[in-house]
Chains A and B, each alone.
Chain A
Amino acid sequence: MSLLEVRGLSRSFGGLKAVDGVSFEAEANRITAVIGPNGAGKTTLFNLIAGSLKPDSGKVAFDGADITGLKPFLVARRGISRTFQAVKLSGGMTVLENVMIGRHGRSRSGFLSGMLGAPWTWAEERSIKAEAMKAIELLGISACAREKTGGLPFGIQRSVELARALASEPKLLLLDEPASGLNNRETRELAELIRRIRDTGIAVLVVEHDMSLVMDISDEVVVLDFGKKIARGTPREVQRDEAVIEIYLGREDGAGASDA
């Protein structure tokens, strides 16, 4: 049984079928990429898995349990963490504080005990901070841990978001276009990092436009077009797939795979 099983997932907006009967799996220790042209339904698919959208039909099973239509915070607490296409951080909070939010689902201190500053919350607060610092160090951004995220360069903000997602110790990590807005060097570093994350035993599901990145890191690629899955396989298989070449990469211009 796979860690994540998506079965016949569909969601329409008005008359438009954004995601149409999509099925696939994601496994621990593997990087699965979802690719497809603009508007193919990739982000919608992510939102359906993460619970920020409810599917019209279909099923999402995670770690042996049905999580279809569960609220996002409950999905998160089961071990699915995500980053966003447009970075969503609290600009007025420091890098450390932002990453500490990632530990929210893994900690327990209540509202009242927090207000009373109860001693039993101190130990948990220390461990939240320690775990957050670990994630910050992993991403190599310790130097700005005490800085507010609002003023940081975009590439670092992306790293902060990734650190926040990792701080929650997810079993499945959803990355929504993690390379967008990054330069070539940053993208190479990101590829290395995503591999390292996979090798710690996390399942990585990534939506990405950067074909070179996808072909470089993915163990498996799922191709969407008009909300439908049109191909699935290793990067090599997908690159040879007629349907993919025709509708995604462009018939005459096979080299399209390397740019984007």
Chain B
Amino acid sequence: MKRFIPAISVLALAFMLPPLLTALKSAHYMTQLTMSAYYALASLGLCALMGYAGQINMGQAGFFAIGGYASAFISKLELSATAGSGPAKALDALGLLSKGLDSYGNSYLSPSPWLSCIAAVLLAVGVSALIGTPVLRLRGHYLAMATLAFGIVIEKVVRGTTALGGADGLSSVPAFAVLPGLEITGGRAARAANFTVSWVVLAAGLLLLANLVASRSGRALRALHDGEEAADAMGVDTARVKLKVFILGAAFAAVAGVLLTHYNGSIGPGEANFMKSVRYVAIVAVGGMANIAGTLIAALLLNFLSLRGVFGSLDDAVFGLILITVMLIGPSGRAAVSRLRAALSPKAAPSAAAPSPRSAAPSPRAAAPSPGAAAGVAARDAARKGGAS
């Protein structure tokens, strides 16, 4: 049951760290650790896509922002005017409306954060399905560029929409009462409880991923990562599995976006920024790609350091540098570097032209008797190989 170790560790820390940090007089660290947990959840969603399915998404921050903005926007809607209507009554009966007095003493009626959370995640799932269907037909650089463009679109849309607060974003986002007496909200009184909530949510995400990787679909994902043709030939609907894991990644990011937004009480366009997407990619890369525990540790550590301000104003630069470094020293990076070196070295040309063992093997044709015929046959074979393989 090795695969459950990350989930169990995080679950244990969710309850052990608050008293420990309080005893060490470091309780203030819990704020950044709470935020790191939510960013880690978004990173893990990307880990499933990048590490296990081998597909890239350079717009993960876009899905995080869709979740956060949608939940903030919906939970701030003022529905008093429609209080008597059928839909409002139905929602109220389901307990999906929150009402009370705001800080100015005016009564308000709004969708509850539970409702806004569900709606926000469904929105992210819908958008990712819509985007993913055409975009996942692309590979490599093209997929990277398409998802990057998606992230930029989301950032520009939220920045340019007055209803979403423009450059300021949305603030005064209400607390999210997940259970009676347990609210996702900032403030010192709720600090330890929120730390526990965030780490429990993170543990749940880890558990889901651990299950997925070990399941029939997880095996299909890993197989298609290593070669789509073989997976396809074994009955794996590769396009569908890729889309599902893309949606899964978006849903993880959206849940993280919703919860962090209610925790902070605000969200701004910076969350949709391209550099945030780079950050998620860098974290998954540092973590070792198909490595849930690695991604978890990288996400918690790097986000914590970043939120503590350790990197100062070089924050984004640090993550960019991390990404470059990992790409250069990672397995595929090493290969790329040696290819580059070979291509630049003048000695490389003859060895590249040397026949491979396969083509050097005697073929029935090559056994033809006269040298002239053999040459003709070789030319014929070469002409065929151009198209038929």
Where the two chains meet, the residues of A that have a C-beta atom closer than 8 Å to any C-beta of B are 12-14, 16, 18, 37-41, 43-44, 50, 52, 71-73, 76-77, 81-82, 84, 88-93, 97-98, 100-102, 104-107, 109-111, 113-117, 121, 124-125, 128, 164, 168, 180, 209, 211, 226-227, 248-253, 256, 259-260
Contacts and interface: CB of A to CB of B under 8 A. Distances in A.
B100 to A, nearest CB: 35
A41 B385 CA distance: 10
Given A88-B230, A97-B219, A111 B383 contact: no
B377 to A, nearest CB: 8
Interface residues of B, number: 48
A165 to B, nearest CB: 8
Interface string B201-232: 00000011101100111111011011101111
A38 B365 contact: yes
Nearest to A16: B387
Given A101-B234, A125-B216, A256 B367 contact: yes
A41 to B, nearest CB: 6
B241 A111 contact: yes
Task: List the 4 closest A-B pairs by CB distance, nearest first.
Answer: A105-B235, A39-B384, A114-B215, A13-B387
B235 A73 contact: yes
**Chain B binding surface, main DSSP class:** helix
Interface of B: 207-209, 211-212, 215-220, 222-223, 225-227, 229-238, 241, 244-245, 248, 290, 358, 362-365, 367-369, 380-381, 383-389
A19 B165 CA distance: 62
Contacts of B223: 90, 93, 98, 101
B90 to A, nearest CB: 27
Contacts of B380: 39
Given A90-B227, A104-B216, A38 B368 contact: no
Contacts of A40: 384, 388
A111 B212 contact: yes
B228 to A, nearest CB: 9
A109 B215 contact: yes
B388 A82 contact: no
Given A37-B364, A168-B234, A100 B226 contact: no
A143 B89 CA distance: 66
A73 B232 contact: yes
B220 A101 contact: yes
Given A18-B387, A18-B388, A37 B363 contact: yes
